Chain A
């Protein structure tokens, strides 16, 4: 077998995977997005582009803006929490390095939904946390954590933090420590060294982490559904309601297609930035 053919064979499993579990379902979503429904909510395929018109109703704009806002807040918080964690593990983790990274990944062994649901029990008005607060006497009244925007963003940060830590860790770990020493040799303060040496050298990791957090966070519905209130409705909830509540798969599919197109723009921007960075690195 020639090397070329061998390489092609290697592509087969992944290619099949993408075809069956990505391209095909995506095709079904697109087909459903121009369909209609019968009386019990079954999808009837056809040509009904008005689903898309309905999706651009100004009514839904605040939902999209809210989703993007929550996702951006999540990215910023994940960065603020994730960068120091990644930095510590990469630079000072020593022989515990792999163990610490494993600990970061460990919560992923439990389903996101189940983990989020656990917060409901913990943070309820008369739940464990508020019980502790009132019993210890920190406050007479418990604090309302749940069903707020803060709880939703908190849930998103908790859910996607590892996606930020891992790429930043990889970037810091890859960075040559001698660069930092060189910065210090040139009388750079720790802050200046970080700003002019470490940050630019690890920026691609931060960017990758931001994209990995932002994309799923925009479309998330679990956090808003379990931890949110009547005013935290996100685009993911809107889509989910079309599928499970409103018996309207075509409209849900149209919303899905629009969301994917919107997210693709960000993906393309990221890919171009990454490509430019690697070109510059090669120079």
Chain B
């Protein structure tokens, strides 16, 4: 929602989209309640619709903000003679909430821990690989990833790592550790990601625990660490780029590519640095998927194909700073990583690194409850 308003102010979306996109939030929980019951788990049959990759309407697009080159959106619009109606989410949870309350999108960008949930609930359309001219450009590893066997429902998007971004003009002496998010001398200038997985995961790693632990005692220890950290914090936010630019943040829990994106927006790019914590970092894959209830799945398939085109992928990598798992886009990221090795993330990291597990039932509830308690404390 905040991103919606942000985009609205920046003129990226019209007022109508803002109102529609934000209705659930702006009008409060009561109105969101009206969506009760009209979504829910779909049937498997619905995910197996036969769809041809051809224009069947404008593209309704739902992504993180600043997570795709706007020039590519324009290019796609021109190439296919359609409009891309954009709106943004600010966390995986809020993406899920919008889907749950009955909003219909043509393309969404779930990460590797949310894609399985959507697949299990029959919410994602099965993708006919014959409809994607560029499917063979996808790195072989992602033809059968763990989170989506056979890549039946998703194509890979950015590969990311979570670490610490800081502004070298304001503060130095970083330790290359999660301890940097607990520095007394940056009190009131530190942000932690407003994302239950990233926040609890960070504390787990700093405590030397497994990233995705569901042991109640261990989680309790991490909860206490996050609560003890609160007096040092300026806030919880996923808007790492803007918080650093407007000076509210000196040190920000954030994603590796965002620092590259940020540098593209400021006059002193060399001041903004990224580090990976030595205790371990979470890595992951974002994906592009088509909801089963998409109104324009044909246009959506064209969009997936468009993003897998090596030339477009290269352009996107240069804009958003994350590697894409597309053959022919490696050079674009190699150039970025050469300038700043800290943002490097490789296929090896993604296969061997720590990834957020797909939690269900009591385990998911434990994490949710923990995050609520941290926020409320």
* Cα distance A42–B230 in the bound complex, in angstroms: 31
CA A229 to CA B189, docked complex, whole Å: 11
> Which residues of B have CB within 8 Å of A238?
372, 375-376
Q: Is the CB of B233 within 8 A of A42?
A: no
Cβ B376 vs Cβ A246 within 8 A = no
Q: Is A246 within 8 A of B93, CB to CB?
A: yes
A-B contact count (CB 8 A): 141
- In-complex Cβ contact of A242 among B2, B230, B372 (8 A): B372
Q: Is the CB of A245 within 8 A of B91?
A: yes
With A124-B248, A229-B234 known to touch, is A247 a contact of B188 (CB < 8 Å)? no
> Does A40 lie within 8 Å of B196, measured CB to CB?
no
A228 and B40 CA atoms in complex are apart in Å by 34
- CB pair B26 A111 closer than 8 Å: yes
- With known contacts A233-B376, A245-B371, A256–B360 Cβ distance under 8 A: no
Q: Would you give the shortest CB distance from B114 to chain A, in whole angstroms?
A: 9
A225 CA to B236 CA in the complex, in Å? 9
- Select from chain A the residue with minimum beta-carbon distance to B32: A243
How far, in Å, is B292 (CB) from chain A's closest CB? Answer: 13
Assess A125 versus B246: contact at CB under 8 Å? Given A41-B96, A111-B26, A225-B2.
yes
Q: Which residue of B lies closest to A54 (CB)?
A: B369
Instruction: Knowing A147-B248, A252-B29 are in contact, say whether A39-B361 is a contact too (CB < 8 A).
Output: yes
The reply on A144 being an interface residue by CB < 8 A is yes
Which residues of the partner chain B approach A114 to less than 8 Å between Cβ atoms?
A: 5, 8-9
Tell me the smallest distance from the CB of A244 to a CB of chain B, in Å: 4
Spot the interface stretch: B116-124, B139-147, B306-314, B323-331. Answer: B116-124
- Structural contact, A244 and B97, CB atoms closer than 8 A: yes
Interface residues on chain A, number (Cβ under 8 Å): 52
Assembly CA distance A241 to B6 (angstroms): 20
Complex Cα–Cα for A142 and B246 (A):
12
Task: Give the docked Cα–Cα distance between A244 and B97 (Å).
Answer: 5
Given A39-B117, A40-B100, A126-B246, A246 contacting B6 (CB threshold 8 A): no
Is B36 in contact with A229, judged by CB distance below 8 angstroms? no
- Residue A89 is within 8 A (CB to CB) of chain B in the complex: no
> When A25-B31, A28-B36, A243-B97 are in contact, do A40 and B372 touch as well, CB less than 8 Å?
no
Q: Which residue numbers of B lie inside 8 Å of A, CB to CB?
A: 1-2, 5-6, 8-9, 22, 24-26, 28-34, 36-37, 39-41, 91, 93-94, 96-97, 100, 117-118, 120-121, 123, 188, 196, 230-231, 233-236, 246-248, 360-361, 364-365, 368-369, 371-373, 375-377
Q: Which residues of A contact B (CB under 8 A)?
A: 25-26, 28-29, 32, 38-43, 59-60, 62-63, 111, 113-114, 117, 121, 124-127, 142, 144, 146-147, 219, 225-226, 228-231, 233, 237-249, 252-253, 256
Report 29 cross-chain contacts, Cβ distance below 8 Å, ordered by A residue.
A39-B360, A40-B41, A40-B96, A40-B100, A40-B118, A41-B96, A41-B100, A42-B121, A43-B36, A43-B37, A117-B2, A117-B5, A117-B9, A125-B247, A126-B247, A127-B246, A147-B234, A229-B233, A230-B230, A230-B235, A231-B230, A240-B29, A241-B372, A242-B372, A243-B29, A246-B369, A247-B93, A247-B96, A256-B29
Shortest 4 CB-CB distances between A and B: which pairs?
A126-B247, A246-B368, A124-B246, A125-B247
In the complex, besides A246-B368, A247-B368, 7 extra interface pairs with C-beta distance below 8 angstroms are A26-B30, A28-B34, A38-B41, A40-B123, A147-B235, A231-B230, A247-B97
